[in-house]
Amino acid sequence: MSVIKNEAVTASAPAKAFLFGEHFVVYGQPAIVLAIDKRANVTAQLRKDDRISISSSNLRIAGTFKGDKYQAQKGGAKARIKLEPAKSAVQQVLEKVGSKKTGVDVRISSNIPVSAGLGSSAAVATATVAAVGRLLDAELTRDQIFRMAYQSECLVHGTPSGIDPAISTYGGALQFQKNRDFIDLKVQTNVPLVIGNTKIERSTGELLAIIRRTRESLPSIVDLLMVAGARTALLAVDALRKGELKTVGELMNINHALLCAVGVSHESLERLVYAARNSGAFGAKLTGGGGCMIALAEQNRQKKVMKAIERAGGTVFEACKSDEGVRIES
C-alpha cells in the first residue's frame, strides 16, 4: 500500500432535497431526489499512532477511537453516537487497503443544516470515505464510495433506502424505486430552490409510523393516494427533462397535499409553504422528514419568496441543483 505522507486531503459531498415521493418510496413508489449546492467537507490526515480521531466544528464535538474504546474530547460521551458513522467510514477504507492499524485524523465542517431532512449525515459519510480513500491511495470507484457510505448510514438509520448516500456520491437528479437501480435523470435545466427550515426536528421513524397507522385504518384510500403520488413523480420527471418548471411547481403542490393527507406535515411547515406560494413561487412542499420545505421559484422572484418565508418564521437559504457529487477538494 502506498500512502500520501504528511499531507491532508479534503473531500466534499452535496446535500439533497426530495422533490417528490418521500415516505411513499417505502411502499415501492418512485421518488425524485436532487443534489443541492450545500456541501459537507471532510479533511483527513495520517496520525503517528493507530487511533481514529474525529471532530465536527458544526456540532462542536470531538473524540478519539482506539478499537472499541472511545475517549471524549468535546461534547461528552454522548457525542460518540454522532461520530460512529464517520468512524465506520474510516474503518471500511482501512480494511479495503489492508491497514487496520493506521491512524487517521478526520475534521468535519459543513454548511448543511443537521436534522433537517437534507442528508447531512450521508454527505459526511460519503466525503469521509472519499477523503480517507484518497489519503491512502485506495483508488475507490464511485460505486465503492457509495456502498461504504451506505454501510455507515446504517448506523444512523438502521436500514435506509440508500437514496441519501447515492445522491451525495453521484450528484445530479436521481429517480429511486425500491428494489430497482437508481436512474440518472440527466436533468439539464437549472432547478432554483428556496429552502425554509422550521428548526423543528422530525423523526423519520415516527413519520413512517403515522403513515403506517393511517394506511392500516384506511388502506383503500391511502393506497390510492400513493398511486397518485407515483403518477405525480413520473410526470415531474418528464417536466424536469423539458425544463417546464411551472409544471414541476404545480406537481410539487399536489405532492405536498398528498403528504398532508397521510399526516406528515405540521402547522409551522404549512405557514412556510403557503407564504412561499403566496409570494410567487411556482410550487412549495415539505421535503424529506419535514423539518424543511422547498419552494421552486424563478430567480427574479427568489428574494421575495425568501423574505416571505422569513416573515412566516423560517430560516431560509437559496439552493440549486448540483450536478457534481462527491469530489476531492485538495
**Residues with catalytic function:** 164
Q: What's the rounded Cα separation, in Å, for the pair 51 and 103?
A: 5
Give 87's DSSP letter: H
Q: Which three cell numbers stand for residue 98?
A: 489492508
Q: Fill in the amino acid letter for 207.
A: L
CB distance 117 to 19 below 8 Å = no
Q: Are strands 61-66 and 31-46 parallel, antiparallel or unpaired?
A: unpaired
Nearest Cα neighbor of 17 from 216, 266, 194 is: 194
Nearest Cα neighbor of 11 from 155, 95, 124, 141 is: 124
Q: What's the rounded Cα separation, in Å, for the pair 311 and 106?
A: 39
Q: For residue 8, how far is the Cα from the chain centroid?
A: 25
What is the phi/psi pair of residue 117, to 5°?
80, 20
Three-state SS for 211? helix
Partners of 69 in the β-ladder: 66
